[in-house]
Amino acid sequence: MDSEKDDKDAESEQSIIKKESSVKAEVKSESKQFNHHELIKLTKAIIGNIVESDPLFSGLPLDVTIEELKSQIAVAQGQAITLFLNRGELPKLAIVVPPYNTTVLDLKKAIKRHMNLALKRENVKKKISWKHIWKKYHLCFKNIRLFDNNENIQSYGVANKAELRFAKKRREKNKLTKR
CATH number, position 152: 3.10.20.90
Q: Do strands 163-168 and 137-141 pair parallel, antiparallel, or not at all (unpaired)?
A: antiparallel
Backbone angles phi, psi at 77, to 5 degrees: -85, 0
Question: According to the model, what pLDDT value does residue 70 have?
Answer: 83
Count of domains forming the chain: 2
Residue 7 belongs to some domain of the structure: no
Write out pLDDT tens, residues 97-127: 998 889 999 999 999 999 998 888 888 888 8
Residue 92 belongs to some domain of the structure: yes
Q: What is the mean pLDDT of the chain?
A: 80
Decide: 100 and 78 in contact? Cβ < 8 Å. Answer: no
Binned at pLDDT 50, 70 and 90, residue 18 comes out as low
Do residue 111 and residue 48 come from a single domain?
Answer: no
Q: What domain range is 76 assigned to?
A: 67-168
Residue 150 belongs to some domain of the structure: yes
Residue 17 belongs to some domain of the structure: no
Residue 26 belongs to some domain of the structure: no
Residue 25 belongs to some domain of the structure: no
Decide: 167 and 87 in contact? Cβ < 8 Å. Answer: no
